[in-house]
Amino acid sequence: MNLTKDLPARLAPACQDLAMSGRPARQAGQIKKIEQFVSSKLNSLDWQHTLQVREIALKLARLEKADQAIVEAAALLHDVGKAKADVFSHAQKGGEMTRAFLESHKFEQRFIEEVICAVVAHDYVRQDKPHLISTLEAKVVADSDTLNNLSAIGIIKAAIYNAQKLQEDFSKTVKEIIAKAEKRSGQLLTRSGQALAKEHLKFVKEFYKKLGA
Ligand SMILES: [Fe+2]
Ligand SMILES: [Fe+2]
C-alpha cells in the first residue's frame, strides 16, 4: 500500500497507520547517501540548520527511544523541499523529493513511508497544528526543528525572513519575533523536547533584549 502518494489530504490518517504498526528494518548504512543528496540541494544556511536539526534529533531520539535511522534520515531531509519551493509548500515538495530519492536508491518501502511522514508533518508546527503529528519519529523531528529555530541559527533565519519588516519597524517586528518564539516554545511534542524548550527560549529572549528594541 502506498500510504503517502496523495498527501496532504491523507497525511494524518497515513501517519496514524504508521504509528500503529511495527517498525521497519534499519537503514543506517544508507544515511551517507541522504547526506550527500541534501547538501547538494540546500543553500549553506539551510544546510547548517539541517545539520543542527540532525544533531538535536539524534539526541531526542535516544531519549525518546525513537528509531534512530528514521529520525536521522527525516531530519536530514525535512527541509530539502526548500530547494524547489517556498516556505508554504516546502514540506509537501520535500515529501515528493524524498520519495523520488529514497525509491531510486532502493530503500525499504516502509522506511520510505516513515521518513516521508516526518518530512511532510514537520510543517504542521508552522501551521499551528502540531497535534496532527502522530508518529514518534515525526514528533522528534518536528521538535528538533522547533528547538533549532529557537537558537542562534534561528535568530539569523528570523532576521532574514523578516528583513524588510525589521527595516520598516524594528521594535514592532522584534516584539512579533519574540511572541512567535514564545508560542513555538509551547508547541513541543516530546517530553525531552519540552525539557529543552525553556532554556532555548531564554537564550533567544536574552539576545533580543540586547537589541534594546
Ligand atoms: Fe521546514
Ligand atoms: Fe527546518
Ion ligand 2: residues, CB within 5 A, are 79, 145
Residue 213's pLDDT band, with cuts at 50, 70 and 90, is confident
Is the Cα dihedral 181, 182, 187, 188 positive or negative? Answer: positive
Asked whether 112 and 103 are in contact (CB, 8 A), the reply is: yes
- Average pLDDT for the chain: 90
CA of 206 relative to ligand 2 center, distance in Å: 22
Residue 143 corresponds to which cell in the numbers above? 521538535
Mean pLDDT along residues 109-133:
96
Could you report the per-residue pLDDT of 27-55, keeping only the tens digit for each? 556 899 999 999 999 999 999 999 999 99
CA–CA dist 158, 179 (Å, integer): 12
Nearest ligand, CA of residue 90? 1
Domain boundaries, the chain: 11-210
CA of 78 relative to ligand 1 center, distance in Å: 6
Could you report the per-residue pLDDT of 149-198, keeping only the tens digit for each? 999 999 999 999 999 999 999 999 999 999 999 999 999 999 999 999 99
Grid coordinates 502518494 are at which residue? 5
Helix, strand, coil percent content, the chain, rounded in steps of 5: 75, 0, 25
Could you report the per-residue pLDDT of 67-120, keeping only the tens digit for each? 999 999 999 999 999 999 999 999 999 999 999 999 999 999 999 999 999 999
Give 115-181 as a DSSP string: HHHHHHHGGGTTTT-GGG--SHHHHHHHHHHHHHHTSHHHHHHHHHHTHHHHHH-HHHHHHHHHHHH
Fold for 11-210, please state it: Hypothetical protein af1432 (1.10.3210)
Nearest ligand, CA of residue 82? 1
- Quote the pLDDT of residue 17: 65
- Quote the pLDDT of residue 212: 85
Name the residue among 166, 28, 34, 171 with its Cα closest to residue 100.
34
